[in-house]
Amino acid sequence: MDLSFYKSPLFEEVRDEGRAQRAAEDVLAVLAERGIDVPEDARERISGCGDPEVLRRWLRRAVTAPAAEDIFVVD
């Protein structure tokens, strides 16, 4: 059985996109669970982000942010 696909750049790209999508869903889920309103522009920015590290940072901030826009604050 040829498993070379799982070591290919294409597989890594697809895997990373899936991880980013899941991370964006997690950010939105935390904000929703906290009852935080997420304006459409913020929702699009979160959903459109493909950088897992940025999404992890936003997820941590979503736990305590008083408003959705506050997760985007630059350190």
Residue 12 banded pLDDT, cuts 50, 70, 90: low
Domain parsing of the chain, residue ranges = 7-66
Greater pLDDT, 25 or 16? 25
| Residue type at 36 in one-letter notation | I
Amino acid at 12: E
**Residue 53, token pair as written in the block:** 């590290």
pLDDT digits (tens, 9 = 90+) for 35-53: 999 999 999 999 999 898 9
Look at residue 11 and tell me whether its pLDDT is greater than 60: no
Average pLDDT, the chain: 87
Chain CA centroid to CA 65, Å: 16
